[in-house]
Amino acid sequence: MGIPGVFPPLAGHVPEILAAKGGRTWLVQLLLWGMSGEITVKGAKYNGVMPGYRQLSDADLAALLNHISTQWGNKFPAGQRPFTAAEVKAQRAKTLTAAQVNAARKALGLK
């Protein structure tokens, strides 16, 4: 459910991210590189810091992504498949800052 003003809820929000063009890739980047700075989710503002989890293996990050995509009433949008270790590995090859991940989120056009 998140923490008001700090961390947005995952329930109901992850499917919105997955449905956005580029959202799936962004979720992988978020877990790898973390994020900082203000965001807006469903009209509410949040300003927390999420660490990256690069220390986890590609398979473990894919499992975590699949978990948050299918828990708390969440489900993959029609036609999307579970995350794979190869998908995570492809994003791990990049080097992003938490601020760049935030900017990429803004480009998704989520409200």
Q: pLDDT tens for residues 86-99?
A: 999 999 999 999 99
pLDDT tens-place string over residues 49-78: 999 999 999 999 999 999 999 999 999 999
Q: CATH classification of 14-107, choosing from 3.50.50.60, 2.40.100.20, 1.10.760.10, 1.20.1070.10?
A: 1.10.760.10
Given this model, what pLDDT does residue 60 score? 98
- What distance in Å separates the CA atoms of residue 8 and residue 11, rounded to the nearest whole number? 9
pLDDT at residue number 92: 94
CA dihedral angle for residue 95, residue 13, residue 10, residue 36, rounded to 10 degrees: 40
Q: What is the pLDDT of residues 27-52, one digit of tens each?
A: 999 999 999 988 888 888 999 899 99
Q: With CA atoms as reference, report the closest residue to 43 among 8, 3, 2, 73.
A: 8
Report the predicted TM-score, pTM, of the whole model to 2 decimal places. 0.90
